[in-house]
Amino acid sequence: MRTDIASQPLTIFRKDYIAPGFWVDTVEMGFDLDPIATHVATRMTMRRNHDSSEKNLVLFGETIKLLQLRMNGVNLKKSAYSIADGKLTILNAPDVVTLEIETVIAAGKNTSMSGLYVSNGNFFTQCEAEGFRKITYYPDRPDVMGTFTIMLRGDKKKYPVLLSNGNLIAEGDLGDGRHYATWEDPFKKPSYLFALVAGKLVCQEEKYKLKSGRKVLLQVWVEAGNLDKTQHAMDSLKNSIRWDEERFGLELDLDRFMIVATSDFNMGAMENKGLNIFNTKYVLANPSIATDVDYAGIESVVGHEYFHNWTGNRVTCRDWFQLSLKEGLTVFRDQEFSADLVGTETGRAVKRIEDVRVLRQVQFSEDAGPMAHPVRPDSFVEINNFYTVTIYEKGAEVVRMYYTLLGHDGFRKGMDLYFKRHDGQAVACDDFRAAMADSSGHDLAQFERWYSQAGTPRVKAETSYDADAKIYQITLSQTCPDTPGQSKKLPFHIPVAIGLLGADGKDLKLQLEGQTTTSNNTLVLELTAESQTFRFTGITQKPTPSILRNFSAPVVLEYAYTDEELGHLLANDSDPFNRWEAGQRLATRRLVKLTNAVQKGEELELDAMFIEALRATLNDTTLDPSFREVVLTLPSEAMIAEEFAVVDPQSIHTARQFVRASLAQHLKSDLLSAYENNLTPGKYSPDAVSAAKRGLKNVALAYLLAWPDDATFMLAKTQFDEAQNMTDRLAALSGLSNFSGSAKNTKAAAQSLQKFYKDFKNEALVIDKWFMLQASAYTCDVAKVRELMKHSAFTLSNPNRARSLIFNFCNANPARFHAADGSGYALWAELVIALNKLNPQVAARLARSLDRWKKYPQNLQAHMKAALQKVAETKKLSKDVLEVVSKALA
Ligand code: PHE
Ligand code: ZN
């Protein structure tokens, strides 16, 4: 254990928030770009905040060299200020201050991808959350907002393109081979939204007319050679602009909006004002390199960053504990954007299903582990560790619950009031809730607990039917497990959307006892107490309840459904989400039972009821292919693991494979027809209809390969060889690389993998797929990962590449990662330690892979604990990694 107390990082608490001692009005900066030593001259005007208890002028700075510090025209003596722990404090500053600061940055050596850094010879910045302090000393906190004017100077040949936020107001030659560009952002902003980009880049651009008639310039900047991959991002940007005008009445407020792609990026993308910087993964696409999933991902991330312009930038966060104010809301907005673009009711439901899958698989797991935290955390050590599925995805669920409670128009009114009150301000989650409550008159006081209490609530439903009185009664009770630092949770305000199905599968008319509102299909019950009973009147037959329709709250619903009831819901529910859910419940039940059977060495068997239910769905051509695809997809191994108190990854894998093989065997001809009937010949288009067909076809193919013969192998091989797009090619290759058939076929599969590499070796994003596919295949064990790490195309220093091989192995290949000898964990520890030196943020993400170690059998636990301890005892551990592993070990 660590003994050097001094190096223990500080926990920061929400309750300690103090308003800044000084505000910033204007910021002017000059950059002389040079990878070895970039000189930055900053001049800012500041004034005292008389309402703050902080009397000193406090600036933050890290990893930079301070050359000069002048206050109101005078060089500051060393005695006039102090620098300690990344804080520069000026004592006795006057009320009105002009500060001039000169700093130097070694951007070329910055491997953290935070602050100013170099990628492929080009300069980029990443300032959220606290990267601006690696550029200059500054009150780097989101509630300090100023207007920025930026002058960039650099070598014309090396850095022909010079970009920053806002509008280009001047550019020109400086002689001696250098040039400059001056950018002015008319909107005041916190420093985390600052950005600059400089280097050799090219762009696709377009003039776009807003609804108001104003014309704006849209640009997508990429490295030379990638201009054939920018159209989809441009289309997505235009769709985003139009959608925000139509759905929320929000217009683009700048004359120019730029997207820049870089292959070295820690996250998906960043919403810097007017200059969004993106991971190439979320920009570059054409049919030969990107899959349908990639196309959808680009659309949603482009939307997400664009929507931040209002939810995040125009109205920003008071402090980082309020992160979900912008992230939860913006994820909700991008989810709605994607759903609206698909348009159909089933399309919306499938999008909802996909989002809920992520929530359950990743967020529910986070909520049950050592890093569990509320949507608005009370404390953190390193803010970068709190860009989590809880802040983002659960935060979006919380926003969605307002939408469910207030309705479409009610929610819009709340949004309008939010902007009316807070445009130009840095605010808190409570302010958003107040806007929703005040605009609707709905009492949302108790709703606050969604922000303050961590953990996934469990809602238990019990029902009874009184045929004589024609009353159907449902009792809902809620509990929430303890989480680190929080026990004895108080009841949440939970919207529970419910419908009742008759024997004919149709919705019954709903009338709650003593209430006037009725519905022909769904009613939203508001569960606010620990337990509440709701009585429906005029119910003439015992119904099948469809509870938590469209997943109306982020909870676990327990109800003792019979298989027959689930079959009835799967076949008939008018709510497509719950229709799917019924199928998942049927599957989960069987997967759990079979996992237990594997452990006991019993014979495995899959019942006819389940097989026939899936057959009926597969063959029901009135159902959208995308819906059939999600019903056919079994819960992942990670989802199944959540059902167990003690997780045995190997048995789960065996059971799931058994179910896949049995289904393939019994549904073989149905799967073949589904395959044949959903071909999409002709030119590739990523539209929802053709993507859905490819999705169903490729799920059918994956099943067929789970019970393979030479003919199905040839089907996959042919699809791989003749594919006209990456979706089909990758799906076929994935099937082949998971293949366990004859030696001859296995060899042919390996050759396909090699051919894929050769054909795409110059496309980094495709090579990421090549690593990813192998890392997550059951055929890939620890030794194979080590071998792949030696491949010339592998590097730990590129986050996308590290994720493609290492993260996929540790997170998406549980049966191999959790090898009984602990070799997976040893590899994990080695790599967390190696990444810690290069890129603490990425290292800390990988560190999270062992969060749930206490859920595994004793022998695995011992190996995991040893690996965690090995990391914890490493010298020079970043705050990022230290926080994660010490919480895991606590
Ligand atoms: N704010 C970014 C987003 O959600 C994510 C991000 C956070 C990117 C921190 C980089 C660093 O869109
Ligand atoms: Zn975001």
Say what percent of the chain tops pLDDT 90. Answer: 97
Place of tokens 């030794």: 783
What is residue 555's DSSP assignment?
S
| Helix (H) or strand (E) segment spanning residue 82 | strand 81-84
Strand pairing report for 256-262 and 215-222: parallel
Alpha carbon of 387 to ligand 1 centroid (Å): 8
Catalytic residue among 305, 327, 366, 642: 305
Nearest ligand atom owner, CA of 272: 1
Alpha carbon of 485 to ligand 2 centroid (Å): 27
Q: What is the pLDDT of residue 737?
A: 87
Say what percent of the chain tops pLDDT 70. Answer: 99
Give Cα 750 to chain centroid, integer Å.
Answer: 33
Alpha carbon of 304 to ligand 2 centroid (Å): 6
Residue of the nearest CA to atom 9 in ligand 1?
128
- DSSP secondary structure of 434-450: HHHHHHH----SGGGHH
Q: What is the pLDDT of residue 434?
A: 99
Does residue 511 carry a pLDDT above 60?
A: yes
For 868, the token pair is: 């965690």
* Residue 87 amino acid letter: K
Are the beta carbons of 587 and 634 closer than 8 angstroms? yes
Banded model confidence at residue 4, pLDDT cuts 50, 70, 90: very low
Alpha carbon of 267 to ligand 1 centroid (Å): 6
CB atoms within 10 A of CB 615: 16
Q: What is the mean pLDDT of residues 468-474?
A: 98
What is residue 851's DSSP assignment?
T
pLDDT digits (tens, 9 = 90+) for 588-629: 999 999 999 999 999 999 999 999 999 999 999 999 999 999
Find, among 408, 578, 405, 402, the residue nearest to 507 by Cα: 578
pLDDT digits (tens, 9 = 90+) for 622-677: 999 999 999 999 999 999 999 999 999 999 999 999 999 999 999 999 999 999 99
- DSSP secondary structure of 109-139: G--SSSEEEEETTEEEEE-TTTTGGGTS-B-
Which residues is 532 bridged to in the sheet?
Answer: 476
Q: What is the pLDDT of residue 720?
A: 98
For 572, the token pair is: 């008939």
CA atoms of 313 and 327, how far apart (whole Å): 11
pLDDT digits (tens, 9 = 90+) for 187-224: 999 999 999 999 999 999 999 999 999 999 999 999 99
Q: What is the mean pLDDT of residues 770-798?
A: 97
Does residue 9 carry a pLDDT above 80?
A: no
**Residue whose CB lies within 8 A of the most ligand 1 atoms, among 117, 192, 270, 277, for a mutation test:** 270
Alpha carbon of 128 to ligand 2 centroid (Å): 10
Return all residues near 640 (Cβ < 8 A) that are at least 6 apart: 588, 591, 592, 595, 652, 655, 656
Return all residues near 193 (Cβ < 8 A) that are at least 6 apart: 127, 128, 165, 271, 272, 273, 313, 316
Which atom belonging to ligand 1 lies closest to the Cα atom of 271? 12
Does residue 804 carry a pLDDT above 70?
A: yes
CA atoms of 484 and 370, how far apart (whole Å): 6
What is the pTM (predicted TM-score) of this model?
0.98
Does residue 1 carry a pLDDT above 60?
A: no
C-alpha pair distances (Å), 526 with each of 60, 352, 443, 534, 552: 46, 21, 11, 10, 11
Banded model confidence at residue 7, pLDDT cuts 50, 70, 90: low
Query: Using CB atoms within 10 A of its CB, is residue 562 exposed (0-12), middle (13-18) or buried (19+)?
Result: exposed
Which atom belonging to ligand 1 lies closest to the Cα atom of 387? 7
Q: What is the mean pLDDT of residues 142-152?
A: 99
Ligand 2 is an ion; residues with CB less than 5 A from it: 327, 330
Backbone phi and psi for residue 330, each to the nearest 5 degrees, phi listed first: -75, -35
Place of tokens 């909520």: 367
pLDDT digits (tens, 9 = 90+) for 339-391: 999 989 999 999 999 999 999 999 999 999 999 999 999 999 999 999 999 99
Residue of the nearest CA to atom 2 in ligand 1?
270
Residue of the nearest CA to atom 6 in ligand 1?
270
Q: What is the pLDDT of residue 2?
A: 41
Degrees to nearest 5, angle at CA 341 with 338 and 342: 90
pLDDT digits (tens, 9 = 90+) for 385-413: 999 999 999 999 999 999 999 999 999 99
* Residue 457 amino acid letter: P
Give Cα 836 to chain centroid, integer Å.
Answer: 22
Which atom belonging to ligand 1 lies closest to the Cα atom of 312? 1
Find, among 199, 144, 173, 554, the residue nearest to 316 by Cα: 144
Q: What is the pLDDT of residue 636?
A: 98
Does residue 740 carry a pLDDT above 80?
A: no
Does residue 581 carry a pLDDT above 90?
A: yes
**pLDDT mean across residues, the chain:** 97
Q: What is the mean pLDDT of residues 421-445?
A: 99
CA atoms of 699 and 52, how far apart (whole Å): 60
Q: What is the mean pLDDT of residues 111-139?
A: 98
Residue of the nearest CA to atom 7 in ligand 1?
128
CA atoms of 823 and 816, how far apart (whole Å): 10
Q: Ligand 1 — pocket residues by CB below 6 A?
A: 126, 128, 266-267, 269-271, 304-305, 327, 387
**Residue whose CB lies within 8 A of the most ligand 1 atoms, among 113, 126, 128, 322, for a mutation test:** 128
Alpha carbon of 329 to ligand 1 centroid (Å): 14
Q: What is the pLDDT of residue 3?
A: 40
* Maximum Cα–Cα distance across the chain: 95
For 792, the token pair is: 């010339």
Side-chain-side CA neighbours of residue 358 (13 Å): 15
Q: What is the pLDDT of residue 708?
A: 84
Helices 608-619 and 649-666: crossing angle, nearest 10°? 60
The reply to whether 393 belongs to the active site is no
Query: Using CB atoms within 10 A of its CB, is residue 549 exposed (0-12), middle (13-18) or buried (19+)?
Result: buried
pLDDT digits (tens, 9 = 90+) for 689-718: 999 999 999 999 999 999 988 999 999 999
Which atom belonging to ligand 1 lies closest to the Cα atom of 129? 9
CA atoms of 42 and 103, how far apart (whole Å): 8
Which atom belonging to ligand 1 lies closest to the Cα atom of 304? 12
Backbone phi and psi for residue 202, each to the nearest 5 degrees, phi listed first: -125, 160
Query: Using CB atoms within 10 A of its CB, is residue 862 exposed (0-12), middle (13-18) or buried (19+)?
Result: middle
Backbone phi and psi for residue 662, each to the nearest 5 degrees, phi listed first: -65, -45
Predicted complex: ipTM over 0.90: yes
H helices present in 391-478, as ranges: 395-422, 429-440, 449-452
pLDDT digits (tens, 9 = 90+) for 101-110: 999 999 999 9
Residue of the nearest CA to atom 1 in ligand 1?
270
Query: Using CB atoms within 10 A of its CB, is residue 315 exposed (0-12), middle (13-18) or buried (19+)?
Result: buried
Does residue 6 carry a pLDDT above 50?
A: no
Are the beta carbons of 188 and 155 closer than 8 angstroms? no
Q: What is the pLDDT of residue 744?
A: 87
Q: What is the pLDDT of residue 769?
A: 98
Residue of the nearest CA to atom 3 in ligand 1?
270
Return all residues near 46 (Cβ < 8 A) that are at least 6 apart: 22, 23, 24, 25, 57, 96, 97, 98, 99, 139
Residue 809 in 3-state DSSP? helix
Q: What is the pLDDT of residue 746?
A: 87
Does residue 51 carry a pLDDT above 90?
A: yes
